[in-house]
């Protein structure tokens, strides 16, 4: 099986992207891996700090590892939106495949300093594992530009989110950030926001995506893809985005499926029975997004 870096490199060459889907329960894990298996695609399971605290850091690492080994399926684990170095270190030590240091709300200098420290720790961790495990490389992603913090339904664009042309991540800052930190991946602010805005998300700035990618020379990551149009997502992938994050739409699907299941089966008390429809609703969303970013 290829490494995550190799799958990302393949995606860049083919101008496709790898789907990154956040989970909070085991139902979410199976929704993601089953959808990816049906389409024969690599996939990334993401867990934010809050999601990791709920499911367990080492526990989710063990679950993903066993699925990958038993199925021979390219399923990878990412520590999404991590705000402190110690939490990055925790995920790396637990065996995650990639980590995101999110210093978007810090000054550029502070963001660079901590992201660089995260990269150095990841490289040190790899060398200490020895030759037999040298393929287990932990990729580090940096984030530049605030796009909000909540994966929920929003009445308006979050205060401070950089969706205007003048306030988006600039190619100049992005180039400096990547050069000084050595991150493997970069998540810029290009009109994207976390969550889904009632009435529709703002359009993504495809030209800014292209210019940032040309400036940094590393694959880009699109956060907050829930609510964005398929056309915008496809055009981002064509211009340097190699990983696409989806979370809010999965949460909406899970809640919708669960409420429908409970209302239609009010006397059912076996959790695995009334939770299955919710899992399948999530799986539909994962399948749809994977088809978009893989041009299937």
pLDDT tens for each residue of the chain, 296 residues long: 899 999 999 999 999 999 999 999 999 999 999 999 999 999 999 999 999 999 999 999 999 999 999 999 999 999 999 999 999 999 999 999 999 999 988 999 999 999 999 999 999 987 665 544 445 799 999 999 876 655 545 445 555 544 555 578 999 999 999 999 999 999 998 877 655 554 555 678 899 999 999 999 999 999 876 777 889 999 999 999 999 999 988 999 999 999 999 999 999 999 999 999 999 999 999 999 999 999 87
Q: What is the pLDDT of residue 166?
A: 55
CA-wise closest residue to 154 among 144, 163, 165: 163
Q: Which domain holds residue 32?
A: 4-294
The H-or-E segment that residue 77 falls in is strand 75-82
CA atoms within 13 A on the CB side of 57: 19
CA-wise closest residue to 92 among 51, 140, 47: 140
Number of domains forming the structure of the chain? 1
Q: What is the pLDDT of residue 104?
A: 87
Q: What is the pLDDT of residue 134?
A: 45
β-partners of residue 100 are: 141
Angle at 139 between CA 137 and CA 141, to 5 degrees: 175
Report the C-alpha gap between 166 and 284 in whole angstroms: 37
Catalytic residues: 80
CATH number at residue 10: 3.20.20.70
């Amino acid at each position: 099986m290829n490494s995550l870096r190799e799958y990302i490199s393949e995606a860049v060459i083919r101008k496709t992207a790898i789907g990154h889907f956040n989970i909070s329960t085991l139902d979410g894990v199976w929704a993601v891996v089953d959808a990816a298996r049906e389409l024969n695609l690599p996939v990334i399971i993401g867990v934010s700090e809050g999601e990791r605290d709920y499911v367990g850091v080492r526990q989710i690492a063990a679950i993903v590892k066993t699925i990958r080994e038993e199925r021979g399926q390219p399923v990878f684990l990412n520590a999404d939106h991590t705000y402190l170095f110690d939490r990055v270190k925790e995920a790396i030590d637990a065996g995650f495949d990639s980590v995101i240091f999110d210093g978007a709300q810090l000054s550029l200098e502070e963001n660079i300093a901590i992201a660089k420290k995260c990269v150095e720790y990841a490289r040190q961790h790899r060398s200490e594992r020895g030759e037999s495990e040298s393929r287990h490389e932990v990729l580090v992603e940096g984030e530049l530009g605030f796009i909000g913090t909540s994966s929920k339904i929003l009445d308006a664009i979050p205060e401070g989110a950089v969706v205007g042309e003048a306030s988006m991540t600039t190619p100049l800052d992005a180039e400096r950030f990547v050069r000084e930190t050595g991150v493997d991946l970069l998540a810029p602010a290009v009109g994207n926001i976390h969550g889904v805005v009632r009435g529709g998300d703002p359009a993504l700035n495809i030209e800014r995506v292209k210019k940032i990618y040309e400036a940094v020379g590393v694959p880009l990551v699109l956060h907050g893809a829930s609510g964005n149009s398929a056309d915008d997502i496809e055009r981002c992938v064509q211009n340097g985005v190699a990983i696409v994050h989806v979370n809010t739409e999965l949460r909406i699907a899970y809640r919708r499926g669960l409420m429908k299941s409970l209302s239609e089966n009010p006397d059912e008390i076996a959790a695995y029975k009334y939770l299955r429809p919710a899992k399948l609703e999530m799986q539909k969303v994962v399948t749809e997004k994977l088809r978009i970013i893989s041009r299937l």
